[in-house]
Amino acid sequence: MAFISLPNPVLPLSGPARPVLSPLRPTSARPARPAALPVSATAAPENWKDVKAAASDAKDAATDAVKDAAKGMGLGPDTTALGSLTVSSLGIGTWAWGDRLFWGYKPEQDKALQAAFNACVDGKVNFFDTAEVYGPGQSERLCGRFAREYKPSEGATPLEGDIHIATKFAPLPFRFSRKSVVDALKSSLNKLGAEKVDMYQIHWPAFLQEQAFWDGLADCVDLGLVTEVGVSNYSAARVKACHKLLSARGIPLVSNQVQYSLLHRNPELNGTKEACEELGVKILAYSPLAQGVLTGKYSATNMPTGPRKFALRKAIDDSLPLLIVLKDIAEKRGKTVSQIALNWCMCKDAIPIPGVRTVKQAEDNIGALGWRLSADEVAALDELSLSLNKGNSTMAMPMGDSDFLIPKI
């Protein structure tokens, strides 16, 4: 899989030409999106009777979602549209690639991380999400290097086209202007070793400087530094405001990256997912396995290490009834618990981006592609997970769904 280098008059670089991670812009039409959940299914449940009623109302929507997902999958590779990009229906999040505090990263892990990256691409996963604050910067360096050095394994048939990489701008307190977005992207491109990146996102709400940063995203497109733009941790109202500003400049908002899983269904319950669907904004689901809780490997006697040991204790307790159903479906389908949880996200027309650090984890994630849960299975998981949803039972971005200080566009 080769990269194609294109001249970039905006960002002069010394030395050999650097690769453009994705110079091609496929013209395939965006697949039809499933209808949003009925209003009765998006209200937070008060008791078990309400949960059953909500699940019953949602079943038709689940059926339509699964049918649409199957149509999009077709007989070929399991891919979806992300603006003008064609990406695998499952991506990979790379927060752990460089993060020492939360994930205990060590440089000697790089060989294993590269092997995991290669296994993902070999297995038809071509979308990787990083950020300037992951590491900080080390995740971007590793993503860029792994993409440049990738060579298919013997017998592997990766997706045709380029490896797609998305990165994110951190709206830190010392950044005030639209130019800071452009400058930050140029710094990220240097770390990635590229002249252009596929997607650039605002990592979390900026509140005071928000409109300037949205204009900065559009400037990055106009300068030819990025193909598509998105946001992360945005509420429904904030997505609508950003979409309106970008649309006025002729630039689509293609994604909103939010925490979304069977244990964290806030995007459905607070209207964010419905607003995104109405605007054609794709949901990128981070922590789709609830940082390992939905793999089924953790329990009260087998806790994760590091900060997760304390942050996820409640989520692990909350997940027990759900894991019983997940294991039952997994056994009947010959799949793993993780694959069922990831496939549920895809049936909801979201792109899950679980993390990987080993080839084994990569192969497990790949096993979620190429098939879909039935409408009855989705409805059963919906019913139970709604009864367990506690809003922030797993770690979430503070004020991530806040409507505080949204610019009037």
Question: Annotated catalytic sites, by residue?
Answer: 134
Six token digits for residue 80: 């979806």
Omega before 136 within 30 of 0, i.e. cis: yes
> Which of 178, 198, 175 has its CA nearest to residue 188?
198
What's the angle, vertex CA 134, arms to CA 130 and CA 140, rounded to 5? 50
- Helices and strands counted in the chain (H then E): 15, 10
Six token digits for residue 279: 């605007």
Question: Any idea of the CA torsion for 321, 43, 30, 159, to the nearest 10 degrees?
Answer: -20
> Which of 160, 139, 142, 141 has its CA nearest to residue 2?
160
Q: Please give the Cα distance from 300 to 303 (Å, whole number).
A: 6
Q: How many residues does the chain have?
A: 409
Q: Please give the Cα distance from 299 to 293 (Å, whole number).
A: 9
> Which of 88, 132, 121 has its CA nearest to residue 356?
121
The DSSP line for 138-156 is: HHHHHHHHHHHH--PPTT-
What's the angle, vertex CA 258, arms to CA 38 and CA 318, rounded to 5? 75
Q: Please give the Cα distance from 281 to 129 (Å, whole number).
A: 17
* 3-state SS assignment for residue 400: coil
